[in-house]
Amino acid sequence: MIVAMLCVYLVLLFLLVRFGVVRFNLFWKVSPFIVLLLLNIGLFIPMGWGAPQGPVLLVRNSVSIVPSVAGEVIDVPVEANKPLRAGDVLFRIDPVPYEAQVNAIEAQLKLSATRLAQMTQLYERDSGRGFDVEQRQSEVDQLKAQLEGAKWNLDKTVVRAPAEGYVTNLALRKGARVANLPLAPVMAFIDTSDSIVGVEIAQIDARYIEPGQAVEATFKFKPGQIYSGKVESVLQAVATGQVQTSGLAVTPKNIASVPFVVRIRLDDAHLVRSLPAGSAGDAAIFTEHVKLAHVIRKVLLRQIAITNYVNPF
């Protein structure tokens, strides 16, 4: 952009000299260098914090699906990358062992309830002890709790989608055996109910960014298109500013100025839902400073949008 503006000035200077409007003396000979210096100092350098630009990325939460019970998979009705609603069945585990457990506890509970009724009747007739009644009542209460747990296990043999989204990289098949181990997820579920659009902005350019400021973004997946939005927040932590509990003293390390992440919300909600997770591009944020540079930044962003047709990087 600065080259284009300098070329415009050179053309204008050539016309002024050609038609004799100005004399081509030393001042006009060095004027292109003066103009270049003024453009950098007065416009393009301040544009970094007046209308900062950075790479944008759309991400979604991924849920590692770990079954609550172990067993053999008898059905996997879900298809990879097919939209799902919350509660749709992902897969089913053989329920027979859990049904048998429920039936066994129900039988024990029925017997214990009968014994409790008999002991209560004897106690009311002064022919039994109160301790026996309390003991039978305790057995009934324990079996009821066990029955609730067994029914919960039986219900968890059907694994359902936790939210709107889709399963990706599906490898689970009928006949596989799954376990309820936190480090052994069986599939990855991508939650599409909420999408996060983040822009990386250099720390020296992020000083004036505030929620509510206007944003424009373009994505490689949608070349030639510009989408508007607003700043939601500036994330208040990056990995280099995080301290974790350990038994070690402070370890010196090289300090690097990593970008801050600005979360934005695009006005086109349908676009956000349609973009695949990982969609990348560029975005510009228009602050309340150096407003003259906003027009230049918009032109630059549109140039990037057009070059996205051929630029894969």
Model confidence over 195-204: pLDDT tens digits? 899 999 999 9
d(CA 52, CA 283): 9
pLDDT tens digits for 219-262? Answer: 999 999 999 999 999 988 877 777 777 777 777 777 778 899 99
Question: What distance in Å separates the CA atoms of residue 20 and residue 294, rounded to the nearest whole number?
Answer: 35
Is a pLDDT exceeding 70 seen at residue 2? no
Pick the CATH number of 62-191 from 2.40.50.100, 2.40.30.170, 1.10.3720.10, 3.40.190.10: 2.40.50.100
pLDDT-derived band of residue 144, with 50, 70 and 90 as boundaries? very high
Q: Which amino acid is at 185?
A: P
Angle at 232 between CA 229 and CA 233, to 5 degrees: 140
DSSP state of 276: P
Which of 56, 43, 48 is closest to 205 using CA atoms?
48
Q: Which residue has the higher pLDDT, 63 or 14?
A: 63
For position 135, what pLDDT does the model report?
85
Long-range own/partner contacts, residues 231-234 (CB < 8 A, 24 or more apart) = 231/262, 231/263, 231/264, 231/285, 232/263, 232/264, 232/265, 233/262, 233/263, 234/206, 234/209, 234/260, 234/261, 234/262, 234/263
Residue limits of CATH 2.40.50.100 in the chain:
62-191
Residue 147 has pLDDT above 70, yes or no: yes
